[in-house]
Structure 1
Amino acid sequence: MSERLAVNGGPKAITLDQIEALRWPILTEEDERSVLHVMRRNETSLSDEPKLLEREFASYLGAEYALAEVNGTSALYAALFVLGIGPGDEVICPSYTYWATAMPAATLGAEVVFCEINPDSLDLDVEDFRNKITPRTKAVIPVHLWGVPCEMDEILAIARKNGIAVIEDACHAHGAEYNGRKVGTIGDIGIFSFQASKNLPGGEGGMLITNKEEYYNMAISLGHYRRAADLPEKYSRYQHTSLGFKHRMSPLHAAITRVQLKTLDEKNQIRKDNIEKLLRVLEELPGFHIYWTPPHINRVYYENDIVYRGEETGVSIERLINMMEAEGAIIRCDRYPLLHQQPFFVERGSNPEDLPVTREINEHILALPTFPGDDGSLVNQYIDAFMKVTRFF
Structure 2
Amino acid sequence: MVKNIVIIGGSHAGVSTAQRLLKSAPSSTNFRITLISPNSHMYWNLASPRGLIPGNYAKDELFLEIESGFRKYSSSRFEFVQGTAVGLDEASQTVTVRGAEKEKSVAYDWLVLASGSRTLDDSPFKNIGTTEETRSALKDLQARVKAAKSITVAGAGVTGVEVAGELGSAFGKEKKITLLAPGPRILEDMLEVNSNIATKELHRLGVEVQLKSRVSKSTVGSNGQYEILLSSGTTVTTDLYIPTFGLTPNSAYLPAKFLTSQGFVKVDEFFQVTGTKNIWAIGDVSDLEQSQWIKTQYQSDHLSKNLIKILQNQAPQAYKKATTPMMGLSVGKDLGTGHYGNWRIPTFMARYLRKTLFLERLSEIVTGTAF
Fold conserved between structures, TM > 0.5: no
- In terms of fraction of residues, the more helix-rich structure is 1
- Structure number with higher strand proportion: 2
Larger relative contact order (CA 8 Å, sep ≥ 6): 1
